[in-house]
């Protein structure tokens, strides 16, 4: 996207004599979640009687930084209307509780060596 914006800006600049200065943006690379964590989280959720769905995430979560030093996994819970990362985001208390229980049981099972 950066290259496209720079290219289009340079075309505009040649047309009207405007000069643009660009600074390369800081690029963060996606953190891949550990397949063992993915499986453990999925297994725990199913053991607790919940449905699961594998979802890719490109968001700039703390997981990106933690993944530099060790494996990571993520647990997503439903948001009303699918709205996320917005002041309008809302999750039902029972969904938050379910997500917290998946996290707790995942940590306990991981700690036990499962």
**Phi, psi for 36 (deg, rounded to 5):** -65, -40
pLDDT one-digit tens code per residue, 28-62: 777 888 899 999 999 999 999 999 998 877 666 78
What's the first-to-final CA gap in the chain, in angstroms? 43
Q: What is the pLDDT of residue 3?
A: 86
Is it the case that residue 2 has pLDDT exceeding 90? Answer: no
Q: Of 19, 22, 17, whose CA–CA distance to 6 is shortest?
A: 22
The span from the CA of 27 to the CA of 2, in Å, is: 11
Q: What is the pLDDT of residue 39?
A: 95
The span from the CA of 79 to the CA of 36, in Å, is: 26
pLDDT one-digit tens code per residue, 78-107: 999 999 889 999 999 999 999 999 999 999
pTM score of the predicted model: 0.72
């Amino acid at each position: 996207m950066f290259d496209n914006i720079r290219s289009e800006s340079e075309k505009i600049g040649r047309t009207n004599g405007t000069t643009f200065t660009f600074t390369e943006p800081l690029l963060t690379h996606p953190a891949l979640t550990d397949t063992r964590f993915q499986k453990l989280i999925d297994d725990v959720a199913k053991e607790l009687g919940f449905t699961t769905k594998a979802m890719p995430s490109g968001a700039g979560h703390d997981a990106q930084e933690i993944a530099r030093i060790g494996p990571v996994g993520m647990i997503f819970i439903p948001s009303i209307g699918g709205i996320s990362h917005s002041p309008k985001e809302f999750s039902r208390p029972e969904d938050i509780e379910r997500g917290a229980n998946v996290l707790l049981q995942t940590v306990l099972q991981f700690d036990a060596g499962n």
